[in-house]
Structure formats: structure tokens, C-alpha cells
Amino acid sequence: MSNIVVIAEVRAGVLKRPSLEAVTAALQLASATGGKVTAVACGSGLDAAAAELGKSGAHQVVAIDGPTFADYSGDAWARAIAEQAKASGASAVLMAHTAMGKDLLPRVSALLDSALVTDVTGVAFANGGFTAQKPAFAGKVTMSLRAARAPFCASLRPNNFAAASGGAPAATTKVAPPAGDLLAVVKEIVASGIGRTPLQEAKVVIAGGRGLKEPAHFKLIEDLAAAFGPGVAAVAASRAVVDAGWRPHREQVGQTGKVVSPPLYIAIGISGAIQHIAGMRTARTIVAINKDPEAPIFKIADYGIVGDAFEVVPALTAAIAEIVKHK
């Protein structure tokens, strides 16, 4: 009972990169437990994704592949995966903490009546037990936890482990999806924000707040983000402007929004309430632009400019555009 199972996420036939990060964590644990890593994927038409998983360093791949699994169904997939986890004698089950991971792993854990730690930033196996670290209170606290039931399940925060690659090709076992009723079914996936960089994957996050005075002025933020070139920067917002209906909730950074840790975070017209800081304090470099020299955001920013966003931001946008042009 020392094997590790990774639940790999495949969408539209494409293996998602955070799943390879989970393989890395699984290989680390397996070297401590002395077990093997089995990657399990669900879907329809999994050959290419299974082949890629087979080269990740996982020792074995199980593809639960069939037309009834073409669309995600949390309840049916969880049952199929829990069966595989039991069959492979898993002592731990890992998955990426994505929209699917957040939905699927708690169900697998419930079926296994296991321990589950979510949004994990570190895992270990020592003295016969699994431990995990996770941020809580939106990053105000780090918790260290120990699994008191077996198996140990953990969903891993993306961008915390390197993606696994370059293993010896592993054998793939194809399994038909088990029969059974689907309680909830995905009818449709609507793509949105095409061409927009996802907030949690962006290298640069430009966030705007109340200091912009009205929704139309977010154009300043969008222009600055665009100046970094395609696929680099994402627009974010403080809770105040999301609550005021200026910006959609998916852009909110903070305790009731997203937690981001990009290499560069630029806060514009944001005072820096505790609950906002909780969502961006782990950014590598923080820049603040604010009219009020006493704004709390300057206490955590690496660099600050005291000034009017309407004057400073266009100048910054022009300077960034100039640099990007010459790259």
C-alpha cells in the first residue's frame, strides 16, 4: 500500500499542464514510500494524452476511455477513479487544484473515506505518514497538516511544482467506463475570454481599484496590460470595484476572490485592505501607484509612486510599450 495515484485532467483531448506538476509531486512521494506512480485519466479519445502521460515519469497509465465519459460528470468519474485507486492499492491520490480538481477530488475522497487536503503547496512522506502544507485565511496563515486516515488525498496548487517530463515510456491500460447513472452532466462548455490571459497564469497582473473613480477608467489598466504584449499580463480588480459592479468577479483578487502570485503585480488606485493583500502578497515584485502616500499598499509594495493614476499610468504604459517594441 505504498503506491501513488495521480488523477490527470484531460480537456478536449489535451492533457493539462498542472497534471504533470502533480506527477512530479507523486514521484517525490513514491521515492519516499517505495511505491509506484499510476496516472489515471478519464474522458473519450485519450490516446494522445495517455501517450504524453506515459512519458512523464509515471510508472503506469490507466485511461478510463469511452463515449459515456466524453463530458465531465463528477459523480461518475469519481466512482471510476475510486475503483482504480482501490485496485492499485493507493496510499495517496493527487490531483491539481483546478476547477475540475476542486470538484472531483472531494468526491473521490468521500468514496474512499480518506483524508483530503486541498490547495496544497507542499507534500511529504516521513515516519510512515503523509503531511501537507496549505495556505488558509487567503494566505494570511500557512497550515501544516497530517493525514490521520488512509489514503491521503491532496489537490496541488498550480505553479508550485515543476512539470514532470522525460520518463521511460510507461504501459497504458485502457479501461471502459463503468456503467451507471450520471447524476449531473456537463451539457456545454462556453469558451470565454479568448485571447485573455488567465489571471492565475499571468506573468504580470495589473490591478485597479476605487482610485480609478469610474468603470470607464479601467481602460488605463487594460492599456497597460496590453502594452506588455499578448499573453503576458492580466487585468485584476479590488473587491470594492467588483462589489460596485465595475468589473466581473473573475477579476477579483483577495480573500473572496483569487489568490495570485505573479512575478510582477502592479496595484493602481488600490489602498491595500487586508483582504486584498491576502490575495497578492506572494507576488515576487509588487508595485503600487496611489495618490495617498499613507495608503497601506505602500507598506508591502517593493516600489511605489505617489501620484495620480491618470497621469502616471499612461506614462508607464508608453515606457513599457517602448521596451516591448525593442525586444
Partner 1 sequence: MDIVVCIKRVPATDAAIKIAADGKSIDTAGVQFELNAYDEFALEQALRIKEQLGAGSVTVVTIGPKEAQKELRDTLARGADKAVLLTTDKWVYDPSSTAQALATWIKTVPCQLVLCGRTAVDSDNNQLPANLATRLGFACVTEVSKLVLENGKFTAERDIEGGREIVTCGTPAVISCQKGLNEPRYANLKGIMAAKKKPFEEKAAELQAPAVEIVAMTLPPARAGGRILGQGKDAVPALIAVLRNEAKVL
Q: Is 51 exposed, middle or buried (0-12, 13-18, 19+ CB in 10 A)?
A: middle
DSSP string, 122-138: EEEEETTEEEEEEEEGG
Q: Is 102 in the site for partner 1 (CB under 8 A)?
A: yes
Closest to partner 1 by CB, 48 vs 136, is 136
- Least distance (Å) between residue 168 CB and partner 1: 30
Q: Is 122 in the site for partner 1 (CB under 8 A)?
A: no
Q: Is 116 in the site for partner 1 (CB under 8 A)?
A: yes
Q: Which residue, chain included where needed, has cell 461518475?
A: 76
Closest to partner 1 by CB, 35 vs 262, is 262
Closest to partner 1 by CB, 175 vs 232, is 232
Q: Quick one: which segment of 21-29, 40-48, 84-92, 297-305 binds partner 1 (CB under 8 A)?
A: 297-305
Please report, as residue ranges, which positions from 203 to 232 form the binding site for partner 1 (by CB under 8 A): 204
Q: Is 271 in the site for partner 1 (CB under 8 A)?
A: no
Please report, as residue ranges, which positions from 11 to 70 form the binding site for partner 1 (by CB under 8 A): 16
Give me the long-range contacts of 212-221 (CB less than 8 A, separation at least 24). Answer: 212/241, 212/268, 212/269, 212/309, 213/269, 214/246, 215/241, 215/245, 215/246, 215/247, 217/309, 217/310, 218/246, 218/247, 220/268, 220/309, 220/310, 220/313, 220/314, 220/317, 221/268, 221/313
Q: Quick one: which segment of 27-35, 62-70, 143-151, 217-225 binds partner 1 (CB under 8 A)?
A: 143-151
Q: Is 105 in the site for partner 1 (CB under 8 A)?
A: yes
Sketch the per residue contact string, 159 through 178, with partner 1: x for CB under 8 A, - otherwise. Answer: --------------------
